[in-house]
Structure 1
Amino acid sequence: MSRFERMRGRLRRAYESGRASSRARRVEPAAAPEQSDVAPSGPAAPGPATTGPATTAGRESSTPLHPSTASRDDADVPHALRIGAAWSWRLIAIGIVAWALLRIVGTIRIVIIPLAIALLLSALLAPAVGWLLKARFPRSLATGVVLVGGLVAVIGTLTLVVNEFIRGVPELSEKSSQGVRQIQDWLKTGPLHVSDSQLNRYIDEAQTWITGNSKTFTTSALSATATLAEVLTGTILVLFATFFFLRDGNKIWRFLVRLLPVAARWKVDDAGRASWSTLGAYVRATVLVAFIDAVGIGIFLVVFNVPFAFPLAALVFLGAFIPIVGAALSGGVAVLVALVDSGPVTALIILGAVIGVQQVEGHVLQPLIMGRAVAIHPLAVIIGIAAGVVLAGITGALVAVPLIAVLNTAIRRLAARTVPDTPPDAVVVASQAP
């Protein structure tokens, strides 16, 4: 064998040995971290044989940390404190976002409130539009017919209420004067024994208060004029928004869903449609319950010949749209009118009728008509109404409860782990086998 062949054999063996050692390093786990505490032996290891600080550092690095910690400093903080801090900054972030949203809503409330009312009206009138569409009406014509019919019904009802109120005001004013005199006589001859000088002083103080607050009344009248302009603008916006919600509501919703990421579209679409069903059920059930309340209390007002029976029944109907609070206030007005017109006995009977109707409404009508789909705890209702009054007045009180019902359904659907059904208009593309 020549020298060249021997050299080539040595190079091949060295190459194969290097490949074998490389494969062994890839297969076997690295043991360097585990042997970091072992001091190197032999003359190649300079310095003393003890590890000293290196051993301490190694022990610190090998100390097991909690899965939620990112460093040794976090591990020194108690777990409960770390959890509380994590919750705190997240709640602060949510509060800042909620505050910003409330400020935005308060700034553009003249637009937000009419749109919310338009959604309520659309949920109420949508079944009528559906019936006309089944009768082969064009969509625009069906929407226009339903909207005009609703306007005619509202205007006709308001006309009847105003006419009856105008006819009954003189008689009620006379009876109110008689009632005031009866109260004065009772204050004099009753258990309080109020003298004429004391009555005159109280009346003078009331007149002085009215005179001193005349500027406030004037400012309120001017603000009422500005509010009237806002009401007219909002009414026009409500009519336009209701028309387009009824005609193109499905297209508008699909457009909004397409703005979301693809992975979230089906979930949001399912939650939105379930919320719309809840809103429709709530509005229709509330209208039915309000009508039953108005008829029940109106019958008692007619039987006992209380004036303004129809306007008071209409007021009860409108007040029933504000759960718990509205029915009590409107019923209180009916009791006050009965007290002024017919005396305390009739007023007590009307009060009993109002309480009885409210009990039937709360324990029979609402659970039976609304069902569990829109069941809301009374505490949530009271808090929602109070917040709505603070933020947007009477309109906020009207919108608060349906908004809570819609959010309740939407959050439940979004938090559910079930996969929504495939939309009927979805196109499923299947891959072909090779």
Structure 2
Amino acid sequence: MPRPVDVGSRVPTALRVAAAISWRLLAVGAALYVIGVVVGSLAALVVPVAVALLLAALLAPAVAYLVGRGVPSGLATAVVMVGGLAGLGGVLTFVIVTFTNGVPALQSQVAASINKIVSWLTTGPLHLSVGQLHGLSDGLFASLNANRVSITATALSTAATIGQTLTEILLVLFTLIFFLHDGAGIWRFLIRIVPDHERSRVDLAGRRSLAALVSYVRATATVAVVDAVAVGLGVAILGVPLAIPLAALVFLGAFIPIIGAVLAGGVAVLIALVAHGPIQALIVLGIVIGVMQLESHVLQPLLLGRAVKLHPLAVVLAIAAGLLTAGIAGAVLAVPLLAVLNSGIRSLLSRTDEQVHPGDVDPGDPEESGPDEPGLDTEAD
């Protein structure tokens, strides 16, 4: 009888390796797709929990400080929650009141700017007639009337969104209370699913990830404050209206790395253009560019670079992916998620961490964001 032919031995090694890698990539891709579908369907639950985790990373050191001074855990959590909510409410109230008081002046300046634009259109190089301008305005109003139904439907959906947002805010607060009060107990419960012989390494990786998240939130808040103060002082000195709300907008935008502060600065440039003309707008643009250069070349390398150790390209791609998949919430949460995964994976792959006890890692210490080893650490030079 003829000897059976071993077909596998005749397949080129490169093809066998490519096939093995391909089916593994397909399995990983399918798992990620299923996870994405599940997370997307539970976005109203996942996003508030993620926001609560970010806030817990910011507030947990304060709770730990009070507990270390002998304050009971429940009382420390209540003090930090009440103080944080009072501070946030005071800032929001101040911004809203300032914005409301500045709107009338901005309206008058917008009206004057519109008159200048109309004058330029009629007497400038375009030489448009008054009748043509009226035709443009009539066409705009006709378009608004034609789409009145869709605009009304959008307003109603916005009202429904406001109700959902209030519900999610309550969920954030409720989850935050338990994260601050018993975050360690929740983590110990979660890692029970890990086998005993691997539990210590997973525990350590989780603590490394939490340390990276705490460092990220602290560094981002510091960068946001510097950006907001610099832009706010610049527009206030130039006399641009709504300087304080613009500074608050820059502060909030800075929590979306790279693009958030740029978009907020663009709003400041637009308001300066409408209120004072192109010269002032160019000056504000220069201020925004200067602040962005300070952020990218000084603040981020010193603060965010040590906190997350991510290459700028990875940050940009993560923000783009988050924005495409989950909108603004995805853009805000993409970089901290990437930082957490980066620190946790580096810890699991690190030989140094095999000798480290999980209790030796202090989540509140920014130096404890993970071992400085090659691999996933792609911090730019």
- The normalised TM-score by structure 2 is 0.90
**Could you tell me how far 1:103 is from its partner in structure 2?**
0.8
Amino acid at match of 1:238: V
**Could you tell me how far 1:219 is from its partner in structure 2?**
2.0
Alignment counterpart, residue 115 of structure 1, candidates 43, 46, 49: 49
- Give the structure 2 partner of residue 144 of structure 1: 78
Structure 2 residue 359 is the aligned partner of structure 1 residue 359 = no
Amino acid at match of 2:356: D
- Give the structure 1 partner of residue 377 of structure 2: none
- Give the structure 2 partner of residue 81 of structure 1: 15
Alignment counterpart, residue 186 of structure 1, candidates 114, 120, 123: 120
Structure 2 residue 40 is the aligned partner of structure 1 residue 106 = yes
- Give the structure 1 partner of residue 193 of structure 2: 259
- Give the structure 2 partner of residue 160 of structure 1: 94
Take 1:192 and 1:411, find their aligned partners in 2: how far apart are those partners?
A: 61
Take 2:232 and 2:168, find their aligned partners in 1: how far apart are those partners?
A: 31
Asked if structure 1 preserves the Cα contact closer than 8 Å seen for 2:48 and 2:172, the reply is yes
- Give the structure 2 partner of residue 225 of structure 1: 159
Structure 2 residue 320 is the aligned partner of structure 1 residue 386 = yes
Structure 2 residue 209 is the aligned partner of structure 1 residue 275 = yes
Take 1:169 and 1:179, find their aligned partners in 2: how far apart are those partners?
A: 15
- Give the structure 2 partner of residue 291 of structure 1: 225
* Offset from partner CA, 1:277-324 (integer Å, 9 cap, x none): 000000011111100111111111221111111111111110111111
Alignment counterpart, residue 327 of structure 1, candidates 239, 261, 264: 261
Take 2:275 and 2:16, find their aligned partners in 1: how far apart are those partners?
A: 68
Take 2:33 and 2:139, find their aligned partners in 1: how far apart are those partners?
A: 43
Structure 1 window deviating more from structure 2 (288-297 vs 170-179): it is 170-179
Structure 1 window deviating more from structure 2 (406-415 vs 100-109): it is 406-415
Take 1:201 and 1:357, find their aligned partners in 2: how far apart are those partners?
A: 43
User: Using a 3 Å threshold, how does the CA distance of structure 1 residues 156 and 204 change in structure 2: closer, same or farther?
Assistant: same
Structure 1 window deviating more from structure 2 (190-199 vs 353-362): it is 190-199
Amino acid at match of 1:97: A
Take 1:280 and 1:374, find their aligned partners in 2: how far apart are those partners?
A: 10
Take 2:324 and 2:153, find their aligned partners in 1: how far apart are those partners?
A: 20
Take 1:408 and 1:213, find their aligned partners in 2: how far apart are those partners?
A: 48
Take 1:382 and 1:253, find their aligned partners in 2: how far apart are those partners?
A: 30
Please give the residue correspondences for 1:230-249 in structure 2 after superposition, counting only pairs within 5 Å.
230-249=164-183
**Could you tell me how far 1:391 is from its partner in structure 2?**
2.5
Structure 2 residue 299 is the aligned partner of structure 1 residue 372 = no
Take 1:313 and 1:373, find their aligned partners in 2: how far apart are those partners?
A: 25
The answer for unaligned runs of 5 or more in structure 2 is 361-381
Structure 1 window deviating more from structure 2 (323-332 vs 336-345): it is 336-345
Take 2:338 and 2:121, find their aligned partners in 1: how far apart are those partners?
A: 47
- Give the structure 1 partner of residue 279 of structure 2: 345
- Give the structure 2 partner of residue 5 of structure 1: none
- Give the structure 2 partner of residue 133 of structure 1: 67
**Could you tell me how far 1:74 is from its partner in structure 2?**
1.1
**Could you tell me how far 1:193 is from its partner in structure 2?**
3.6
**Could you tell me how far 1:197 is from its partner in structure 2?**
4.1
Structure 2 residue 154 is the aligned partner of structure 1 residue 202 = no
Asked if structure 2 preserves the Cα contact closer than 8 Å seen for 1:278 and 1:373, the reply is yes
Take 1:367 and 1:270, find their aligned partners in 2: how far apart are those partners?
A: 26
Take 2:248 and 2:358, find their aligned partners in 1: how far apart are those partners?
A: 43
Larger helix share, 1 or 2: 2
Q: Secondary structure at the match of 1:370?
A: helix
Take 1:423 and 1:167, find their aligned partners in 2: how far apart are those partners?
A: 53
Structure 2 residue 58 is the aligned partner of structure 1 residue 124 = yes
**Could you tell me how far 1:389 is from its partner in structure 2?**
2.0
- Give the structure 1 partner of residue 373 of structure 2: none
* Offset from partner CA, 1:318-351 (integer Å, 9 cap, x none): 0111111110111111111111222221111111
Amino acid at match of 1:242: L
**Could you tell me how far 1:423 is from its partner in structure 2?**
4.2
Amino acid at match of 2:158: A
Take 1:421 and 1:368, find their aligned partners in 2: how far apart are those partners?
A: 26
Higher RCO structure (Cα 8 Å, ≥6 apart):
2
Asked if structure 2 preserves the Cα contact closer than 8 Å seen for 1:270 and 1:420, the reply is no
Take 1:223 and 1:331, find their aligned partners in 2: how far apart are those partners?
A: 29
Alignment counterpart, residue 421 of structure 1, candidates 356, 366, 371: 356
Report the RMSD for the aligned CA atoms in angstroms: 1.7
Amino acid at match of 1:108: L
* Offset from partner CA, 1:177-213 (integer Å, 9 cap, x none): 1111211222233333434444333333322332232
Asked if structure 2 preserves the Cα contact closer than 8 Å seen for 1:278 and 1:406, the reply is yes
Q: Secondary structure at the match of 1:194?
A: coil
The answer for unaligned runs of 5 or more in structure 1 is 1-52, 61-70, 426-434
User: Using a 3 Å threshold, how does the CA distance of structure 1 residues 192 and 86 change in structure 2: closer, same or farther?
Assistant: farther
User: Using a 3 Å threshold, how does the CA distance of structure 1 residues 138 and 184 change in structure 2: closer, same or farther?
Assistant: same
Structure 2 residue 184 is the aligned partner of structure 1 residue 250 = yes
Count of residue correspondences: 359
The structure that has the greater radius of gyration is 1
Asked if structure 2 preserves the Cα contact closer than 8 Å seen for 1:376 and 1:405, the reply is yes
